[in-house]
Structure formats: structure tokens, C-alpha cells
Structure 1
Amino acid sequence: MKITLLLYFLFSFILVYYLERTIHVRSHTKCHWSKWESWPHKAKPFHVALVADPQIVDNGTYNYPRPLLRLVQFIADQYLFRHWRYLHKKLQPDLTIIMGDLMDTGREFNLEEWDKDLERFNKIFDFNAAEHVEVYPGNHDIGFGEKTFYEKIKTFESTYGSTSRSVIAGNHTLALVDGIRLSNTLSPDIYGKPKSYLEFLNKKKEPSSPRILFGHVPLYRPDGTSCGKLREQKDTISFGYGYQYQNVLSKELSEEVLKNVEPVAAFAGDDHDYCEVVHSYNDDYGSLKEVPEYNVKAFAMTSGIRRPGYQLLSLYYVHEEGKAPSESYQTHPCLLPDQIAIYLFYGICSLFLFVVVTYYANDYYQKSGRLLPLYHTQAQNRRSNSRRHYKSIIHKAFHHFIFLTWPAVLFFLVLNVFSV
């Protein structure tokens, strides 16, 4: 009996460790650069990690009772905290780009609320764990289009810099273009700076530095355009809009951005699911060009998809005079664990264990004869006595269940408190 219990506890510890550590770490090690890069021998590529839509759960996310909301926040924060650190510990990218939607209802916050959740965001996404981090906003941070909040833009820029700017990395120009502000047509204070940035990019085209376009909202594509096999939800991203959001940029704005930037590739967030499409446009000389765009999966477990993720981007380009950039980048999507499935597995295992314990508790009472009436008066009240005995069985089973599970639960809590 003692050996059986010892083996059971050992198995439960191994199972919890596997579900709380091994699965999570393995999702990053499986995505190591060496497993998918194919550069020439002795090449030294520049590594970029793309993290989209963390959207930390805040007081406006769910209409839950406060205790339940705090529990959801803790679980969601731990997931983000854990994978942010595993990403940088295991893959060590040279640059990490957070692609907008830092908070879920940040655009509705006053300055005090923004500062409070920004402090929480910084605890989850510790920039000291990364080599270098760049951040640009999403519609959940500053609004969208005509409803963009200028005061939110100023607050965001005071923390993370201009919402449209260039980042030089691996002999490439990473063009962070704020399509959210460009979608505004009413206020020069909102669309002015990104418009000027586009004009600058159009005038300063450098063949020695291929451009890669980054934005929060995806570029326009005709309805029905397939996103490819790696998508979880419906196969397309269709044009749609609502309060403070638009699924894709307008057709005219998308063409304007592509024509001015002339990127070799584009990356976006916002949609939460993976999508890969090829856009076509005519450059300044009327030549038809094609640009692949990759929608990066949301990093959060609360994003409405079962498998969150991130995107890796490897850059390697040696400029040769008169030769256009070709295959100067490689990219790879990475999937994170299905946390909901893990919790469901815990629930099924717990239910199975309770059923087994209850069965053996009942078997014990049956063999001991405690369910049989001992006196004539008890026989007259057999149903009443049986009900009391069954309650006793459940009570006994519950105590055994607690005894068998509390060490694993304690180990689970320890692993989650010390997430990395």
C-alpha cells in the first residue's frame, strides 16, 4: 500500500511538472532558429521576435464578479509572464517587437488607470529579459480612425516613442507605419506625422536596405481571400468595422502604404489568428509587385483562439550593387500551448480520481456490512439509513480525494508562483 501511494504521488508530480513546465518550454525549443533557418554557411542573421496583441485582462474586459475577474487576470498574466521569459531565455532574439494592443481597454483609461495598468504590463513583460524591445500601438491602445484619441497617442508616445518610425536591423529597414492614425481623415494632429513619415519613406528609398512593413491592422484584401492552412478560425479576414476597430485597412490606404514603403514583406497583428496572403500593387514606375503579408498570432491565452503564438523573423542581407534584394528574410510561426485544454485535462483527471476513490469507499462499506440493517427497526428505515450511509461514503471519499491531491495542488501552485 505504501509503495502504491509513493508511486501515485511520484506520478502526480511528474504529470504536473510536465503540464506546467515541459509542455511550455518545449513550445519554444521546438521553434529554435536552427530548426528552420536555411542561410548560407557562416551567415550571421539578425533575429527578431514578433509578439502581437497581449491585451492584458483589465477591469473592463469581462463583466465578471470581482473575485472571478482577479482569478482570470492572475491566470492570464502568468501565461504571458511565463512565455515572455521562455521566449527570450530559449531563443534570445536580437530584437523583439510588440505589435500593439498592450491592454484590452487602454483607450478608455484615464491617465491614472493607464499608469496603473502600465506598471502591471511592465511586470509581466520585463524588458530587462530581452536584448532590445520596440513597441507600437493598436486600436485597443489609442482607438481607430476617426475615433482615435489624440490624448492617448500623446500618452503612448511619451512612453514608447513615435507611433510611426524606422528601426534599422540586420541591414533592413523595419518600417513601423501607424495605419490606425492614417485611417483618420479629420484631424491633422492625428494623421499628420504618419503621413509625413510615408512621404519620407517614398523619397528616401535605399536599395542597400530592404524594407519590411509593420502595422497593427492588416492590409486590405478582397473578401474570400484564403489565409492558408495554419489558421484556426474561418479561412478569411473580411472587411468589417465597429466601435473602435476595423478588420483591415481601406483599399486606398493599403495601396498608398505599399507604394510608398515598397516592402519585401509585411507583418500585422489585430486579428489574433495566423494569416498569410500575397498583395499586389504598382510601384512608381508602373511595375506590378507582390508582397507577402503575415498576420501574427495573438500572444495571450484569452484571445479567442486555442493556440496562441508569436512569429520569428530572421534577417540576412549582403548588399550587392545592381542586384535587388532576394530572400533577405525568413519567417516562422510558433505555437504556444493550449492552456484551456490543459485545465480541462486537470478537471477530467480529478473527476476520474474522485470516481475511483468513491468506488473503493463504497466497496469498503459493502464488504464491512455497514449498509446492511442490524435491527428490525433499522430495516423499516432502510432507505433513510442507506441515504445516510451514502453520504458517509461521499464524505469519506472526499477526504481521501483531498489527501491524494493536495501535494500535487501545492506543487502546481509553487510552479505557477515561480513561473520561470
Structure 2
Amino acid sequence: MRMRFRHHATQATRRITRRYPFLRYLSILTTILTCAWFYALYSSERSTFQSHIQACSWDKWEEWPHHATPHHLVFVADPQIVDPHTYPGRPWPLSSLTETYTDLYMTRNFRLINEKLDPDSVVFLGDLFDGGREWATSRARKLTRSQREILIKLGILKEGEKEGQKVARGLDGSDNGESSKGKSINKRSLDSYRYAKSHPHSRIITKEEHNIWPRDGKTDLREFVHGEDGRWSSYGDKQWNLEFERFGRIFFAPEQLYPNSDRNLVPAWTEPTDSVSVENGANDLKWEQYAVGGRHRLIKTSLPGNHDLGFGAGVQLPVRDRFQSHFGDTNSVYVIGNHTFVSVDGPSLSAFDEYVMGNEEISEERRVNYQHLWKPADEFLDDLSKTAPKVVADALNEYYPGEHETRGYWHEVSDPKDTTHQLALGAKAKKNPKLPVILLSHVPLFRNPDVDCGKDRERGRSIPIHRGYQYQNVLTPTVTNRITKKASEAGDIVHAFSGDDHDYCDITHRFNVGRWNEETNKEQAVMQTTREITVKSFSWAMGVRRPGFQLVSLWNPVDEMGNTVGTPLPTIQSHLCLLPDQLSIFINYVILLGWTLLILLIRAVVVGIRNKPLVDEEDGENDFPRKLSLPRYQPRSSSKDSGRANGYVSPNENQQNETQGRQRASSTSTSTANVNNNNLSVQRSYNSRTRSVSPAAASAGMNYNFNANSHALPNLQDKSRPLIEKAGFYPELRWQDPDDSDEESHVGEEQDSQAKWKKRKRTTSRARRAFNEFIISVAFVAIPCGLFYTFLIKNG
């Protein structure tokens, strides 16, 4: 049974290889290598990414009470979409591949985050683009005469003033570029303008490196100025829009935000109150956020980075306006998970105070010249004491409807010297609801350069204090203190998150912040401890081998005034989630490719040496394969001349008088020029020829009439003749492939092969055979693996 199965398998294999000749090169070794590549590709492009995301599941690190319903948030920092600005020295193929694979990497991970972790909110920490600050903006059309007259009547423009032109104003409101020189400035302004000298370890760059262009009061602020000596002047607003579309495909597309679901981007409106939505923290009692299979995600992308706007004095108004028109206000306050998020435009605010050359203090004149950059962020911080309670009250009204009256500013006139009025305002401020504050800044807050960032940092121990073209590693102490002091007026700063550094850093700050004393109805300074986490870059092309993102779990049950209900616990928990090392994946591919080529090369050499080189079938008459056919015999010309019986051939006779007694049967061994009465060639007809002839059948069927006058084959059934005279008439039987013995497929070939003019073909050398075997085996492995890899890439 076993032999029969093996026989049938062998025959089936032969039939398949005859139909598909290329399958003859298929071997067990190439099959094993192909399977190994399939496993490596699927593991690297699918399993590895899924396992890294699933390892960060919320239930594996959260430590809330069993009845808690926390809000899940994800921080994404520094995606910095790769563009021509990222690697300007790379040639075209490599730069395009880098752009493609970085987009693919972030697309795959962001979709898996939403699919496996299902966060409630996603907040970006700046540097959405890499060269966004370098791409020129489109210029607005100039105002017509009638439009200008209307704006002048409205007081927006002055006579002789062009739209967008900066008019230098002093801190006290004086015009004409006189600033505040020779005028009085209050003590608060002087304190805020004091410049904290840079740390001794800091590196100060030159003016050329900083690339600060002067603002003299007559410069058109709406005119874009190219940086880096006009290196990127050929790129304009079209390039920025293309990158914005790429960013949208990665992070805004519905298939990315809501994979494997039919959820909509806009919540469904329902008349009755949805209890499930309220329990899980819906923004409105009548908004059903769980209508179609899951919660709707809140996406915040308005926090800018230095690669989006520039830094400090390098920020340009048209660049910032373009960013705000697409992503929202760069300074914002909002409530997520019963926490107040304060997002500050640090790059613009740094124009107020930044590290400059020579350890010089920032002059007041310089601050005035750049106040169009830092003033919006500064005013935002000043207004936090008013705007933040409104935002908190609106959020609390969703849980306690009607508890907080939504109203605008107090419309009343009072004497500023009236202390009773000040006490009343203090009492009203005391009743403002507050929630724990989470501070967001793209650039990390100031710290000493030797502060350890923790064990999860890849490069070095701390964030160095450096300054270069359009970047600064940390904010200055002046800007840091200003941000923390103003943000603390919205509530206690329980945590801070930043980006920019691309690597992880976890430190604890101690700040002097203001607190309202209920007993004295005054504000007093209090030392506060705040933890800051610098989130890793989300891209694998930003200098870190292990990119990542930050998971944040928020749970803060509150009363109608925003106070935590029950036992006070930390209201925020955080966890670092690392992503796969894409560079290691590529290195593993290269190693596997090297082993594959080496193994196939060794196999090809062994096959080339072990097997005898094949000889072409058309190598001449002597090398032509024998065919299964009738024998050919030529007796002596006359029996009387030799005195022997007809049909006897002497081996010692001269070849001129007699021919050989045994010859190979050939259907084309004779031609019309050699046919005579003394020679007879027996040739079977193509119509009557069979596949094989057995000796018994042949002897039984060969009964020829012997004519003494013509030398023909003797009668093989004549038993009176001795057996020796019948020798040579039974051809040597040899099995050949039926296709090889199929005479119809070789018509006209044998005669050509015996032609004297045909040149003998060379045999295939062992080296050539090994080379052919290597190329074909590589193709057998590369083609299916390449198709499978293309499928994995195309389908994310």
C-alpha cells in the first residue's frame, strides 16, 4: 500500500512538472525559507504592533476602585510629519521611503490605539509638522479704497496706515514707537520684565544662528519672511496644505478614529436623557454619545510647537494665523474628565523672554517690538481667573443643571478705592468653581540641567539646556514662573505634560504659586509640587529607537462646586506605552535576507557540483537517445560468395563487403540516396506505432518472407534456424519518458541532428548550472514573499 501510494505520488508529480516545468526547481529548502519569511513578515507587520498596544491595556495598570468610571485620555507628542525639511541631504528614493514608512508607522499605531484601547480623548502636544514654519503663506489681497475708508471710519485703521502694519506702542499705551522710555511703569510690569540669566551650562547662539529679523515699527507683519537664508523659498502654501492632508489621513480619517465600527463623528441627538451617557461623563444630558457602538472621541490639536510656528522672535503672524485657522486657538482652556486643561502657546510667549547671545538681559524695547507675538498668550493667562471658572461652571451644569448661572462679565460701575467692593469681588471669586488643573506646554518647563529624567529615558539622564535656530530645549525661568502662577489661578496644578524633546522625562517641580486665603480674603504665595512628564515622540524618525505615547486615566467625582467627593485620592494616573522599534524590524529583515541568500547560494553550489552537467539532446548521432523501435539488419550481399548461409555475418569480414550485424533502430538512419536492393531499413508507420513493444510481442509479430535474391530480415519464427542466427534482432529495451519517445514530437529532428553541418553544442558547466539554480531559487522565495509584504503594507 505504501509503495503504491509512493508510486502514484511520483507519477502525479511527474505529470505536474511536465505541465509546469518551473516547478521542477521547487524544493523543500525553498519552501521552508518562504514559510520563514511569511512568519517574519506577519509577525513584524502585524503581531508586533498589536502586542505592544495590547500590553498597555487600561486594566493592566489602572488602580481605581472597582466602581470607578475613569475618563481615558491619550497624549500624542511630536508626530512631525516627514517632509523635505526633515532630511534635506537624503536622495530621492530614500527620502520618499522615509516619508512613506513614517506615515505608515503612525497610521498603523494610531488606528490600533483607537481599536484596542478605545480612548475617550486624544490630545496632541505640538509639532504636528516638521517644516510648517518654513513654508511661505499665501498673501492676502490688498484692500480696495472703499474698504479702507470703511475700516478707517470704524477706527480699525488710521489715515496713512496700511493693513497689517505694526505700530509700536509702549506698555503704557503710547504710540509712534516711543515705547515706555521716560514714562512710568507700574511695579508689576517691572517685576515681570526682569530677565533671569541663563544657566552657566546653557549654550548661547549667535544672532546669525538665531536668525532674528528686526521689527522696527514699519515692518509689514503680514509679510512672510523666509528663514535659513531663503533655503526653502521654493516651497509655499501648497506644500503646507499637502502636509495638512497627510496629517488628516493619519489622525482625522473616520477609519482611523473609529476602526471596525459605524460610529459617526457627530453625536446623535436624542430627546430623552440617556442614562448611560450621563454615567460615563457625557458633555450634555441630551447628547447620546453611545448611540452607535461606542463613545465619540474628543480630539485636541490646537497646541502648537516650534516646528509649527517657530520659536520666540522667530514666530511669524501669518504662520500662526494659518495654524489657528486649521487647528484652533493656540491658547485654550477646556474641561476633560473633570479636570481643567490649560493649553499655553509657549513658543509665542517665549518672545517675551528667551535665551539670546551674550547672556544679555531682554530689554524692554525688545519686548515692545515683539509684543504682537507674546501679547495674546500673556492676555490669555491674565484672563484665566475669569475664563476658567466659566468653562468649569458649564461642565458642572451638565451634572448639576441650574446650579451655576451662566452670565457674562459684571456690568457695574464702582469706585476702585472702595474696599467694600473689593471684598465683595473676593467673595464672589471664592465661590467660583474650580477643578484640578493639568498644564499643557509644548516646550518643557524650566529645570536644572542635571535633574534626572528617570529610567525610561533613552538618551542621557536629563534634558540639556540648549538654544538654536527656532528651538529652545526648555522655557526660561521667567516664562515658566509666569505660566505656573497664572495657571494656578484656575485651580491646583496637579500635573503638567510637554513634548518637544522626543524622549521621555519624568520630574517633579516646586513652584511658588498664589492661593486665595478665605480668612483674610487675600492672595498669598504657597509652595506647590507639580509632576511634569515630557512625552515621547510618536514617530520613529525623530531620533528615538522606541517611540511612544502617554496614557492618562482621569477619575474625579465632584460635587456642584467641583470639590472631590469621598476620600481624596490622586485624580490622575499615567502610564508610558512604548511602540515597536521600526529600525530593529528593518535590521531583522536585512539579517534574514542575508541568511536566505547564503543558504540558497550553498544549495545552488551543492546542486551544481553533485549533479552531472546536462548534455543537450541534439549532440550528434552517437549521443542521440535510443528510441524504442524495430531493429535494423543488413546481411551479406550474396550467400554464394562467402559459402555461408544467408543471414550469417562474420565479425572479421571487411566492412567494405559486409555491414554490421547489429545496429540501432532509427526511423531516419537511411535516406533516399542510400536506399538499394541490398539494404533494408525497417521503419514503423507513425499511424501504427505504439508506445512500447515487448520482446515477446515483437518476436511473435515479426514474420517476414525471406527472399534469397534480396537481403531482408530473416523469419524470426523459423525454428529450424539456430538461435545464434537470431541474435541481435531483439533490440535493447530501455524505459524513457513517454513524451521523449513520442515520435510525433520529434518529426524532422533526427535527420537534422545527424546532419554533418550541424555544430555540436556545448555542455552546461557546473558553475553555470549553480548560477541558474541560485537565481531561480531566489525568485521562488522572493516573488511570493514580495506579494505578501505588499499586501500587508497596502492594508495597513
TM-score w.r.t. structure 1 length? 0.91
- 1:12 deviates by 2.8
- 1:361 deviates by 1.0
- 1:189 deviates by 2.4
**What is the CA RMSD across the aligned residues, in angstroms?**
2.2
Could you tell me which of 512, 516, 523 is aligned with 1:282? 512
- Whole-Å Cα distance in 1 between the matches of residues 770 and 451 of structure 2? 60
- Whole-Å Cα distance in 1 between the matches of residues 598 and 114 of structure 2? 42
Distance 1:351 1:7, change over 3 A: closer
Which structure exhibits the higher relative contact order, with contacts defined as CA atoms closer than 8 Å and separated by 6 or more residues?
1
Correspondence 1:195 to 2:425: no
Distance 1:100 1:410, change over 3 A: same
The AA in structure 1 aligned to 2:538 is: F
Mark the runs of 5 or more structure 2 residues left unpaired by the alignment. Answer: 1-25, 137-236, 258-296, 353-366, 390-431, 515-523, 614-764
The AA in structure 1 aligned to 2:770 is: I
- Whole-Å Cα distance in 2 between the matches of residues 16 and 257 of structure 1? 48
The C-alpha deviation readout for 1:373-402, integer Å capped at 9, x for no partner, is xxxxxxxxxxxxxxx965763453233122
- Whole-Å Cα distance in 2 between the matches of residues 105 and 323 of structure 1? 43
- Bigger mean CA deviation after superposition, 210-219 or 407-416: 407-416
Runs of 4+, deviation exceeding 6 Å: 321-325
- Whole-Å Cα distance in 2 between the matches of residues 229 and 64 of structure 1? 33
- 1:369 deviates by 5.8
The C-alpha deviation readout for 1:233-280, integer Å capped at 9, x for no partner, is 111102111000000000111122112213100000000000001011
Q: Show the counterpart of 2:46.
A: 21
Could you tell me which of 95, 99, 113 is aligned with 2:239? 113
Correspondence 1:134 to 2:300: yes
Partners of 1:170 and 1:316 within 8 A in 2: yes
- Whole-Å Cα distance in 1 between the matches of residues 324 and 378 of structure 2? 16
The AA in structure 1 aligned to 2:300 is: E
Equivalent position SS for 2:130 = coil
Correspondence 1:230 to 2:456: yes
Partners of 2:351 and 2:373 within 8 A in 1: yes
Q: Show the counterpart of 2:589.
A: 346
Aligned residues: 403
- Whole-Å Cα distance in 1 between the matches of residues 793 and 534 of structure 2? 30
Equivalent position SS for 2:133 = helix
Equivalent position SS for 2:439 = strand
Could you tell me which of 85, 90, 109 is aligned with 1:60? 85
- Whole-Å Cα distance in 2 between the matches of residues 259 and 212 of structure 1? 13
- 1:232 deviates by 0.5
Correspondence 1:413 to 2:790: yes
The C-alpha deviation readout for 1:29-50, integer Å capped at 9, x for no partner, is 1111111111111111111111
The AA in structure 1 aligned to 2:128 is: L
The AA in structure 2 aligned to 1:360 is: R
Equivalent position SS for 2:525 = coil
Distance 1:11 1:249, change over 3 A: same
Could you tell me which of 88, 99, 121 is aligned with 2:125? 99
- Whole-Å Cα distance in 1 between the matches of residues 772 and 307 of structure 2? 49
The AA in structure 1 aligned to 2:546 is: R
- Whole-Å Cα distance in 2 between the matches of residues 201 and 326 of structure 1? 26
- Whole-Å Cα distance in 1 between the matches of residues 321 and 67 of structure 2? 44
- Whole-Å Cα distance in 1 between the matches of residues 772 and 83 of structure 2? 39
Aligned pairs for 1:308-327 (under 5 A) are 308-319=547-558, 326-327=569-570
Partners of 1:127 and 1:133 within 8 A in 2: no
Distance 1:261 1:395, change over 3 A: farther
Distance 1:273 1:390, change over 3 A: farther
- Whole-Å Cα distance in 2 between the matches of residues 389 and 308 of structure 1? 51
- Whole-Å Cα distance in 1 between the matches of residues 375 and 473 of structure 2? 23
- Bigger mean CA deviation after superposition, 26-35 or 322-331: 322-331
The AA in structure 2 aligned to 1:182 is: L
The AA in structure 2 aligned to 1:169 is: I
- 1:11 deviates by 3.8
Q: Show the counterpart of 1:74.
A: 100
- Whole-Å Cα distance in 2 between the matches of residues 299 and 398 of structure 1? 41
Equivalent position SS for 2:438 = strand
- Whole-Å Cα distance in 2 between the matches of residues 352 and 85 of structure 1? 34
Q: Show the counterpart of 2:161.
A: none
- Whole-Å Cα distance in 1 between the matches of residues 536 and 583 of structure 2? 17
Mark the runs of 5 or more structure 1 residues left unpaired by the alignment. Answer: 371-387
Partners of 1:208 and 1:319 within 8 A in 2: no
The AA in structure 2 aligned to 1:69 is: S
- 1:360 deviates by 1.3
The AA in structure 2 aligned to 1:339 is: Q
Equivalent position SS for 1:353 = helix
- 1:198 deviates by 1.1
Q: Show the counterpart of 2:57.
A: 32
Correspondence 1:295 to 2:545: no
- Whole-Å Cα distance in 2 between the matches of residues 303 and 48 of structure 1? 23
Could you tell me which of 406, 417, 442 is aligned with 1:216? 442
- 1:6 deviates by 4.8
Could you tell me which of 240, 258, 267 is aligned with 2:497? 267
Partners of 2:337 and 2:555 within 8 A in 1: yes
Indicate the structure with greater helix content.
1
Correspondence 1:12 to 2:37: yes
- Whole-Å Cα distance in 2 between the matches of residues 291 and 127 of structure 1? 36
Bigger Rg over Cα: 2
Q: Identity of aligned pairs, percent? A: 35
Partners of 2:498 and 2:533 within 8 A in 1: yes
- Whole-Å Cα distance in 2 between the matches of residues 161 and 22 of structure 1? 37
- Whole-Å Cα distance in 2 between the matches of residues 138 and 168 of structure 1? 22
- 1:331 deviates by 0.5
TM-score w.r.t. structure 2 length? 0.49
Equivalent position SS for 1:292 = strand
Partners of 1:36 and 1:332 within 8 A in 2: yes
